[in-house]
Every structure is written in structure tokens, then in C-alpha cells.
Amino acid sequence: MSVKFLKSVFSPEDLPSDGLPEIALVGRSNVGKSSLINALAERKELARTSSTPGKTQCLNYYLFDNFYLVDMPGYGYARASKSSRFQWIGLIERYFESRKELRATGILVDARHIGLENDVTLMKWFSEQGHPWFIVLTKIDKVKQQDIAAHEKYLKQEFEGVAAVFKTCSKDGKGVRALLAFIKESVAAPRGATSD
């Protein structure tokens, strides 16, 4: 698969207008969004990863053959100001409510930290939207197998609208193939086909 970084989008006018379907990835700062994109692309340094959370403040578009993966700005960074937190909500609400090209959204959750307030708020919001969404547990190399199984069960029970829960590790690539297969399927489906 050929993958390339297209551009960073700072305002709605800069969103691509070629109509290609897209999949958005959201999650807390430092959850591993950029690392996951690199793992999906099988490229080491396509998306910039960092140990300084809260770096990505724009939408980063990556072209995967025939669709875009969109790396959304991370939220929940403790040092971010209240106004920047509102800005985050404003930007993503607008994007999720109006972006016609969007086929599904992946919410990334650190497998070590299940049930954090920000994550739960976002997952509840998605549950109410009726727009297709899925969960990607990240950093499963840091968590015991049995805990991961318990987390998965909890998430599926708590958020009935979730299309799937993936368990991934960007370091060794675990779960990444299954996720990519799901993404390709979502992209091929007409918009709204997988929602209620």
C-alpha cells in the first residue's frame, strides 16, 4: 500500500475537497495516535510521534491508496487552557457534524487507563450521534491479557453503539492488521451504511 502525508489542516477552508472517503482517529494526547498511523502504514516516521503531549493542534491528513486517515488533535492535556479545550470541542464537533467524507471514527483509548472522564464523554457523544465509530485500545503491551479482556467486555457493555473494539500495540504491530481490514471495509461502504 502506498501511503503519504498530504497536509496539516488548521481551518475548515483547508480541508481536502477531492471527495475521497476518510477515517478519523481521535484520542487523548499521548494515547498513541501518530504511532498507530505509522504502524498502519508500516512506516517508522510518517507521522511524528513525541514524548511531549499536546503537540498536534491541527488535523493531519494521510493518504492511504484510496482514502484518508485523519490524525485529530489530542485532548485532555492537563496543561492545556480551558479556552483551548473549548476550541478543541468546537473544531471536532464541527468536523464530525458536517464532514461528508467521514466514514467512521476510531476513538483511541490507552489500555492502561480505561474509563477516564474525557474518553467516556466522547464515547457517549458518539453513541448518541448514530455515526459509525469504533474503539482502538492502544499500548496493550503494557497490560495483562486478562485485564484487556475485561476492558473489552466493559466497553462493549457500556457503549452499545460501538461497531468494534480493537486491541493494538504499535510497537510490535499486534492487532494492526485486523484494524486495517476493518478500516478498508468501512471506507468501501457508502456513507451511513453502517449507522442506524
Instruction: Considering only the stretches 12-20, 52-60, 88-96, 152-160, report the one whose residues sit in contact with ligand GTP under the rule CB under 6 A.
Output: 52-60
Contact pick of 92, 169, 176, 187 for ligand GTP (by CB under 6 A): 169
Contact pick of 31, 114, 122, 155 for ligand GTP (by CB under 6 A): 31
Binding of residue 29 to Mg ion (CB under 5 A): no
Residue 45: count other Cβ atoms within 10 Å of its Cβ: 8
User: What is the rounded CA–CA span in Å between residue 141 and residue 167?
Assistant: 10
**Contact call for residues 89 and 82 (beta carbons, < 8 A):** no
Binding of residue 105 to ligand GTP (CB under 6 A): no
3-state secondary structure of 86: helix
Opening angle at CA 27, ends 10 and 38, nearest 5: 80
Compute the half-sphere exposure of residue 73: CA atoms within 13 Å on the CB side of its CA: 25
Interface with ligand GTP in residues 61-100 (CB under 6 A): 74
C-alpha separations of 57 from 7, 131, 167, 180 in Å: 13, 24, 26, 25
CB 79, min distance to ligand GTP, A: 12
User: What is the rounded CA–CA span in Å between residue 41 and residue 25?
Assistant: 14
Instruction: Considering only the stretches 14-22, 97-105, 133-141, 144-152, report the one whose residues sit in contact with ligand GTP under the rule CB under 6 A.
Output: 133-141
Give Rg (Cα) of the chain: 15
In the list Mg ion, ligand GTP, none, the entry touching 30 (Cβ below 5 to 8 angstroms by class) is ligand GTP
In the list ligand GTP, Mg ion, none, the entry touching 105 (Cβ below 5 to 8 angstroms by class) is none
Contact pick of 23, 24, 35, 119 for ligand GTP (by CB under 6 A): 35
Binding of residue 186 to Mg ion (CB under 5 A): no
* Helices 176-188 and 33-41, axial angle in degrees (round to 10): 80
Query: Strand 59-64 to strand 3-9: parallel, antiparallel, or no bridges (unpaired)?
Result: antiparallel
Contact pick of 30, 38, 56, 186 for Mg ion (by CB under 5 A): 56
Contact pick of 23, 24, 41, 49 for ligand GTP (by CB under 6 A): 49
Which residue ranges make up the site for ligand GTP (CB under 6 A)?
27, 29-35, 49-51, 53-56, 74, 138-139, 141-142, 169-171
Which residue ranges make up the site for Mg ion (CB under 5 A)?
33-34, 56
